[in-house]
């Protein structure tokens, strides 16, 4: 079974290096994607065949059509592994595995990596700190939660990605008003206490339930702050071997073990509360981090998470020993903003520490790399002021995610 057949699912335009690595290692690669992405610049040299889904593609009838279509396709094609390359494809991947009995994450475990309520309940039951929260099922329980916790609170969709659909409320009356506006969709949401603090992300590769590669970073401007306040997104890797790095790595290992992670890439978020100095789990996902975080991790460590994830999946499918990559132990930082120019001129950033420049309409962004973390933080601070002066634009938060 040296040659494997991978069904990659990507209903957002991503995962190129995963598919390239799969193909370079001698495997067949199928891509299941959204019909509206048919003409995007996919790495076609690495994809043996495309399958398309209608838009939208998450309703029960759509999913049943997907299963029927794949059943026909599999009459003449073998599929050994199914890999969901984006958050919104995790359920599809789990459903396909369950239906066709393909090894990998099933539907119950997939819930822990998609459903924010399932995440919190599982983490809490495993003794992992989470912000105080409540489902929106029972009126009496919701009122009791609001009366026994401190405002403000966040209303969060259980299965959206990033900060999409989050609303902050400041009183019992405002909370109930927002809940009533959800009408028949309120069971798809939860409410939790909001406490300010330092927010971190941990990007890992796991084998047999243990992280074999981990990089810890701190958001200098969180995705929520940027999405709701129109700011400039910034994050930077933490020093290796520090107590903060070690504590976050250990908590991340606890989360992945409690959630049943066997092997995959993962991107998880944590907060150290200003009110008590303790670490709390926020959310996780069984994928490579978005928003160009993977590129920042590569700048710091020399490890391309997409390619390594592909190597990991192949090793597991072949029942081979996976050798994790060595970390080059440098520092990196990422800064991104919406821009008022269609194609911003990034040549004005000339520092030798620049490792990557963003090439996307109406966006400005760079990644810097150095052996000195203080230099990274200084450059990000400098660039933030320059971007605000020369490039920055803001836009209203979309109702649905766009990346």
Q: Tokens 């970390």 correspond to what residue?
A: 327
Instruction: Report whether 247 contacts 221 (CB < 8 A).
Output: no
The arithmetic mean of pLDDT across residues 113-122, rounded, is: 96
Instruction: At 205, list the tokens.
Output: 């590769």
> 250, 172, 256, 173: which is closest to 208 by C-alpha?
256
Residue that wins the pLDDT comparison between 400 and 340: 340
pLDDT of residue 57: 62
pLDDT of residue 223: 73
pLDDT of residue 316: 94
pLDDT of residue 151: 96
The arithmetic mean of pLDDT across residues 225-243, rounded, is: 85
The arithmetic mean of pLDDT across residues 153-161, rounded, is: 89
pLDDT in tens, 10-68: 999 999 999 999 999 999 999 999 999 999 999 999 999 999 998 766 677 889 999 99
Compute the C-alpha angle 384/368/377, nearest 5°: 55
Residues 6+ apart with CB under 8 A from 305: 203, 205, 265, 288, 289, 294, 297, 298
pLDDT grade for 358, boundaries at 50, 70 and 90: very high
Q: What integer best gives the mean pLDDT of the chain?
A: 93
Residues 6+ apart with CB under 8 A from 307: 17, 18, 20, 21
Domains of the chain: 5-104 (3.40.50.20), 132-193 (3.30.1490.20), 197-390 (3.30.470.20)
Quickly list H helices, 196-292: 223-229, 243-259
pLDDT of residue 13: 95
> 233, 230, 345, 209: which is closest to 289 by C-alpha?
233
The arithmetic mean of pLDDT across residues 358-370, rounded, is: 96
pLDDT of residue 55: 75
DSSP states along 14-32:
--HHHHHHHHHTT-EEEEE
pLDDT of residue 403: 40
Residue that wins the pLDDT comparison between 403 and 15: 15
Quickly list H helices, 103-171: 107-112, 116-125, 139-148
Instruction: Report whether 45 contacts 22 (CB < 8 A).
Output: no
> 27, 31, 36: which is closest to 47 by C-alpha?
31
The Cα–Cα gap between 45 and 35 comes to 19
pLDDT in tens, 244-281: 999 999 999 999 999 999 999 999 999 999 999 999 99
What percentage of the chain reaches a pLDDT higher than 90?
88
The Cα–Cα gap between 156 and 45 comes to 40
Residue 268 parent element (H or E): strand 264-273
The arithmetic mean of pLDDT across residues 349-365, rounded, is: 96
The arithmetic mean of pLDDT across residues 67-76, rounded, is: 97
pLDDT of residue 54: 86
pLDDT in tens, 190-220: 999 999 999 999 999 999 888 999 999 999 9
Radius of gyration of the chain (CA): 21
Q: Is the peptide bond before 152 cis (omega within 30 degrees of 0)?
A: yes
The arithmetic mean of pLDDT across residues 71-97, rounded, is: 96
pLDDT grade for 161, boundaries at 50, 70 and 90: low
Least confident of 34-48, 94-108, 385-399: 385-399
pTM (two decimals): 0.93
Residue 398: pLDDT over 70 = no
Residue that wins the pLDDT comparison between 68 and 161: 68
Compute the C-alpha angle 243/248/253, nearest 5°: 125
């Amino acid at each position: 079974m040296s040659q494997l057949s991978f069904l990659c699912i990507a209903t957002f335009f991503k995962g190129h290096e995963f598919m390239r690595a799969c193909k370079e290692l001698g495997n067949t690669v199928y891509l299941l994607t959204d019909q509206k992405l048919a003409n995007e610049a996919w790495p076609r040299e690495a994809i043996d065949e495309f399958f398309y889904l209608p838009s939208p593609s998450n309703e029960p009838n759509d999913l049943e059509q997907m299963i029927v279509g794949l059943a026909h396709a599999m009459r003449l094609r073998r599929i050994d592994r199914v890999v969901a390359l984006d958050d919104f494809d995790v359920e599809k991947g789990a459903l396909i595995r369950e239906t066709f009995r393909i090894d990998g994450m099933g539907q119950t475990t997939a819930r822990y990596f998609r459903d924010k309520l399932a995440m919190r309940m599982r983490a809490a039951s495993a003794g992992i700190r989470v912000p105080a929260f409540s489902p929106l099922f029972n009126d009496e329980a919701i009122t009791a939660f609001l009366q026994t916790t401190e405002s403000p609170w966040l209303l969060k969709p259980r299965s959206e990605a990033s900060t999409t659909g989050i609303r902050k409320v400041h009183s019992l009356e405002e909370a109930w008003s927002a809940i009533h506006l959800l009408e028949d969709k309120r069971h798809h949401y939860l409410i939790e206490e909001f406490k300010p603090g330092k927010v971190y992300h941990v990007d890992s590769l796991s084998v047999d339930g243990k992280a074999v590669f981990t990089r810890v970073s701190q958001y200098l401007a969180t995705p929520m702050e940027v999405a709701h306040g129109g700011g400039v997104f910034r994050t930077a890797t933490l020093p290796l071997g520090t107590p903060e790095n070690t504590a976050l790595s250990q908590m991340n290992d606890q989360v992945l073990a409690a959630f049943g992670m066997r092997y995959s890439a993962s991107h998880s978020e944590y907060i150290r509360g200003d009110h008590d100095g303790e670490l709390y789990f926020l959310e996780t996902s069984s994928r490579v981090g978005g928003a160009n975080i993977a590129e920042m991790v590569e700048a710091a460590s020399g490890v391309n998470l997409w390619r390594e994830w592909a190597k990991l999946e192949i090793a597991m499918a072949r029942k081979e020993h996976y050798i994790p990559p060595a970390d080059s132990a440098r520092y990196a930082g990422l800064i991104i903003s919406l821009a008022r120019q269609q194609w911003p001129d990034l040549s004005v950033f000339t520092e030798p520490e620049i490792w990557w420049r963003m090439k996307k309409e109406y966006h400005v962004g760079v990644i810097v790399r150095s052996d000195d973390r203080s230099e990274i933080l200084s450059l990000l601070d400098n660039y933030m002021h320059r971007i605000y002066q020369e490039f920055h634009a803001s836009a209203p938060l979309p109702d649905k995610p766009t990346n």
